[in-house]
Structure 1
């Protein structure tokens, strides 16, 4: 067997036929010529690109080499050289082999020329792809195509030029991106969006680590953050000061001192904090004394004075031991639990006897409550026990005359839905009853937050009335009165506090802020009302309006930042005593008193920083344009009309 191609060896006769000879011919003199033919075939095998032709050439080469090997091995079988016709046979055989080689060579040349033509077409196609990629700024695609073209045309001018354009395009794109990110960083700084600014700056530094503006931008962001933090602390500290939250003020003051130790406001806050800490200590001492007094009153039986004493102690300093004693003494009377003993508050009220205590668990109670007997209704805390009802249907809480002396505490009361009727239900209504509301939030009423009518009395302690459609606290009718201590009337659509038609208010240490009309309106003819140590600020009309012949006592109040003025005393027969009040930063005026009104005494009042008149005690005002409102006589459970607008 032939070890190279796996075929059987040729016989001598078969080999002679491959070379074009008959057996017995003389071949030896012509073998060098056949070897040269074999060399040409071998070159064709190496150079041709057509696999089919390459296989054919290889097959012919193998047959020729096999034939030459067999013939060389059998030279002893050749006849004498004088045998006639041998030259002719050699010529014919050589012609045959030569024709095969020549045909192969010619075919290969044609194939090479075709391949060259196709290569040229392929090169041009790649060049066109590269051009389009450059025009579309697809740099990665362009680089890939030029890399392929470079393999076909190493170092050609168009490849080098294309790669240069790619490098320049990428650099231009990078510069544009750097410019965009730089502009975005500056815009975020101007908008004081520090998170966005820092994110953009990181992106900029990743693109260009040594950018010339990097340090400046980083410094602007850092300084801006500190500036905003200082502004927030100033606002928060000012709010804590107005709310007399002394521990909170101390915390904000310490933080401000660490950020800006030389800030001009620090002196004021430090002094206020020191005074506040003194007040807190006094409260703790007072609370302890009250606790000891209540402890001495504990005789194992129900005692309203003892419980009120404990409630006052808890407001001053809410300690666990005070609360424990309060819970113990509260249990001396009958206790009704909701849920537990009763599934609804209404069921508990129906079963209640005078002086019973009703305790609410945490949860939302969708009910409208009517108190017809004196009870003590206490929840689990603001935001924990929530009582709500539809604004168009009823008040959340109605206290009738028979329920006088009832107390409601530690709940959130609110209305759901919206009522735009001319008469609307207040959230809580004291209709001829004395009603105590303590430690509660009343919010989102369509009408008034708390209304007192028909000679009723409201006692509010630590109550917040927020976002009601009319007044926060409305007191109307002969003999109607309300006391509010440590309360807040905030963001109500009409006035914060409103007393008219014989209604009387005494408001102390409270705040009326951000209401849609005036902070406080006092206009009950001949009735004495008072505002003491209150903050009246940020209201959209005047801070305090005293008119229609009322008698007002205004003492140690701060009236600040109201849009239509600070304190206005207006109308014939109106009397006000003003002492130690501060009216500052109000628009229009600080304190304005009608020449027909009387202000006596008037001492130690400060007006500063108001836009317009600071103080005018003999102002000439137009005739009163708002007549006294009629007396409301609203049956129990009926909606209440809005209060009057303040004089213009």
Structure 2
């Protein structure tokens, strides 16, 4: 390596002596070696080692040049001193001159002075000097000692100054080297997003160089990087959480929000989103468990109902619905006890009146009793006895089909259908009892394009149907669609039956007929679940459930009247209950109407009647809408809450104080909207 390369590597100016540079850089070399030993990573240690090797090569070149110059300078200095030696003896002469014995008395000699250029001066004329004596010899030896002493004092002073400068320069170089390496290390740690380690690097730079711009810029880069990282992280996972929340994937939404809060627990936007997610999950849990518990109460499965309440209490301690459901279970148990008591009273009365032959009154009592307590052995025993007095045909045991059985029975006879699915499409025009095996056990089926499963004609008044599911195969999209069951001009009772999958209505009453349904279900029909149409027609529904129908749950229109009590209307594509009839004797009481796409109850018209104690919630357009044509209907003490539209909507001309006993709260729209004007025909 050349001297120029060594100077360039070590940052030494061309004017600085190599010997001074060597002394000054010795400590810097040790600091660099220490950095190799203590490097935080192998990569940095290798990098420092390569720099150390280059540093050593440059130092070697400087030492060689320093030795050469020292030899040359010493040779020049000693040449100026009388009696000095030159060449290789110079060093030993310099080191040992104080230990030499006093020189012998000099003989007279002539010293030739030199001028400043080193050339001999012209000889002056020799003066006559007396012979030297011993004393002048002593003075000459003493003079040489003083000269040497002065030389060493000068050299010592120069050396002390040089030593001070050397230490100062070494410290500066070491700091500069360390700062350079720490700056490089800090930048790499910032790029790797290792904020704590990067911060330590820049704090060390600040210690080495207070007020350093490098340290200030480094800390700013850390702040900017951390802010950018936070914005990227929070933005990504907040977006994921919001998207999942809007899609209804609440568990995924909560998981994404929790990722943000684990690192940034004070983020206000995510805290607000997390609260919305928690409320939505609680609402979903309330709806699910509430429906399950109420279904269990309806089926009188108390173990399932109580398990549902316990699960809700564990998930949402203190929620109001826990108390509500617990009360419903208690009320259901009490109702079961009352029903059993009533059923046994009827059975006892039937026993007293039983004369061993068919008695319409006894049969009426026992039909009610078996509907109240279908699984009680005592009640069923009496029912089977009195029912046996009429003629009974079993399908398929006695005859293969319902049509064959109807050909062979007379009024008040009994047809018992076994389990299974039977083709129907029959007409019944006399009073007869038709019994199935219970919910889901016996199914009467017809083709949607041909006829209802059963049509009851005007002569069928007094007919009773229990425990049968009526359904249609296929679908008819025409304007005139068949229902699952049709009652025309007669009065028929249905108990424990299901009407489903019809192209038209589930159960349809017309031509001044009347259908009474007790504990029946109306599901997934193409029009209404239960419909009564025309003057004189009447619908009676007690403890029924109408759900998932393409139009309304219950519809009363064109002059018909209705009684709907203690029933449900849920998730129908239009209204839960639609009343569009001027008939009197309207009674809607104690019903639960939820989740319908339009209104819970729509009173479009009505001559007289009562709408009392119903609960309308979570209906999309609103809880209840009352048109001016229903002015005469009393609407009182209904609960209209948590609907997605308005609670109670009143057409222009209706006074709000007329409806002040109704409970309105927590609706997404207004709780009360009044003076609404509807376009003609709506």
Aligned residue in 2 for 1:394:
451
User: Following TM superposition, by how much is the alpha carbon of 1:586 offset from its aligned partner in structure 2, in angstroms?
Assistant: 1.3
| Structure-1 residue corresponding to 2:628 | 571
Q: Post-superposition shift, 1:257?
A: 4.3
Structure with greater helix share of residues: 2
> Which whole-Å CA distance do the structure 2 matches of 1:338 and 1:386 have between them?
12
Instruction: Report deviation, 1:236.
Output: 2.4
Counterpart among 463, 466, 471 of residue 520 in structure 2: 463
The alpha-carbon deviation at position 243 of structure 1 amounts to: 7.7
Q: 1:232 to 1:343 in 2, by over 3 A?
A: same
Question: Paired residue for 1:250, among 297, 306, 310?
Answer: 306
Partner of 1:499: 556
Kept in 1: contact 2:603–2:630 (CA 8 A): no
Residue in structure 2 matching 1:416, options 449, 462, 473: 473
Change (3 A) 1:468 1:281: same
User: Whole-Å Cα distance in 2 between the matches of residues 477 and 436 of structure 1?
Assistant: 19
Does the C-alpha gap of structure 1 residues 388 and 599 become closer, same or farther in structure 2, counting only changes over 3 Å?
farther
Q: Which residue of 2 aligns with 1:340?
A: 397
Q: Distance in 2 between matches of 1:400 and 1:366?
A: 19
Query: Does residue 536 of structure 1 match 2:589?
Result: no
Measure how far apart 1:312 and its partner are.
2.7
> What is the TM-score normalised by the length of structure 2?
0.56
> CA 1:600–1:461 in 2, change beyond 3 Å: closer, same or farther?
farther
Using the size of structure 1 for normalisation, the TM-score is 0.59
Secondary structure of 1:270 counterpart: helix
- Structure 2 residue 273 is matched with structure 1 residue 273: no
In structure 2, the residue matched to 1:18 is: none
Q: Secondary structure at the match of 1:423?
A: coil
Which of residues 293, 297, 300 in structure 2 aligns to 1:240?
293
Preserved CA contact (<8 Å) 1:432 1:457: yes
**Structure label with greater radius of gyration:** 2
8 Å contact from structure 2 (residues 647, 665) kept in 1: yes
Q: After superposition, what is the alpha-carbon deviation per residue over 1:240-283, rounded to whole angstroms, capped at 9, x for unaligned?
A: 34885362433322344466665564333334433443333333
Does the CA-based 8 Å contact 1:230-1:260 persist in structure 2?
Answer: no
**Which of residues 634, 638, 652 is equivalent to 1:581?**
638
Residues 561 and 584, structure 2, Cα contact 8 Å, conserved in 1: yes
Aligned to 1:622: 678
- Within the candidate set 357, 360, 375, 1:304 is matched to 360
Partner of 2:419: 362
Compute the displacement of 1:337 (Å).
Answer: 1.4
**Distance in 2 separating the partners of 1:443 and 1:621:** 37
Change (3 A) 1:534 1:239: farther
SS in 2 for 1:543: strand
Identify the residue that residue 439 of structure 2 maps to in structure 1.
Answer: 382
Query: Which has the larger displacement, 538-547 or 585-594?
Result: 585-594
Aligned to 2:651: 594
Task: Provide the rounded CA distance (Å) in 1 between the counterparts of 2:558 and 2:346.
Answer: 38
In the alignment, the residues of structure 1 paired with residue 655 and residue 559 of structure 2 have an alpha-carbon distance, to the nearest angstrom, of 20
- Aligned: 1:313 with 2:369: yes
Aligned residues: 411
**Does the CA contact (< 8 Å) of 2:296 and 2:305 recur in 1?**
no
Separation (CA, whole Å) in 1 of partners of 2:644 and 2:420: 44
1:486–1:509 Cα contact (<8 Å) kept: yes
Contact 1:523-1:550 at 8 Å conserved across structures: no
Q: Deviations over 1:46-71 (max 9, x none)?
A: xxxxxxxxxxxxxxxxxxxxxxxxxx
Q: Does 1:287 align with 2:348?
A: no
| Aligned 8 A contact 1:576 1:600 in 2 | no
Confirm or deny: 8 A CA contact 1:546 1:574 kept in the other structure.
no
* Secondary structure of 1:347 counterpart: helix
Secondary structure of the corresponding residue to residue 253 of structure 1 = helix
Distance 1:260 1:612 in 2: 26
Match of 2:666 among 609, 621, 627: 609
Q: Distance in 1 between matches of 2:619 and 2:630?
A: 25
> Residues of 1 paired with 2:588 and 2:332: CA distance?
22
Distance 1:505 1:557 in 2: 15
1:477 equivalent in alignment to 2:534: yes
Tell me which residue corresponds to 1:28: none
Aligned to 1:352: 409
Confirm whether residue 437 of structure 1 aligns to residue 494 of structure 2: yes
Q: CA deviation at 1:602?
A: 3.7
Q: Alpha-carbon deviations, 1:54-102, whole Å to 9, x = none?
A: xxxxxxxxxxxxxxxxxxxxxxxxxxxxxxxxxxxxxxxxxxxxxxxxx
Residues in 2 aligned to 1:471 and 1:433: alpha-carbon distance in whole angstroms: 20
| Residue aligning to 1:450 | 507
Matches within 5 A, 1:138-287: 232=285, 235-241=288-294, 244-245=297-298, 247=302, 248-257=304-313, 265-287=321-343
Preserved contact between residue 344 and residue 365 of structure 1 (Cα < 8 Å): yes
| CA–CA separation in structure 2 for the residues paired with 1:240 and 1:343 | 40
SS at match of 2:599: coil
Please give the alpha-carbon distance, in whole angstroms, between the structure 2 residues aligned to 1:230 and 1:287: 39
8 Å Cα contact 1:547-1:570 kept in structure 2? yes
Q: Which residue of 2 aligns with 1:558?
A: 615
In 2, the alpha carbon distance for the partners of 1:283 and 1:313 equals 8
Q: Which runs of 5+ in 1 are unaligned?
A: 1-182, 198-223, 626-646
RMSD between aligned residues: 3.1
Q: Displacement, 1:612?
A: 1.6
In 1: Cα distance, 2:506 partner to 2:536 partner: 20
- SS at structure 1 position matched to 2:406: helix
Task: Identify if the C-alpha distance between structure 1 residues 600 and 366 changes in structure 2 by more than 3 Å, giving closer, same or farther.
Answer: farther
Higher relative contact order (CA 8 A, sep 6+): 1
Stretches of structure 2 that go unaligned for 5 or more consecutive residues are 1-236, 256-276
SS in 1 for 2:671: strand
Q: Which whole-Å CA distance do the structure 2 matches of 1:367 and 1:465 have between them?
A: 19
SS class of match (1:546): strand
Partner Cα separation in structure 2 for residue 615 and residue 623 of structure 1 = 20
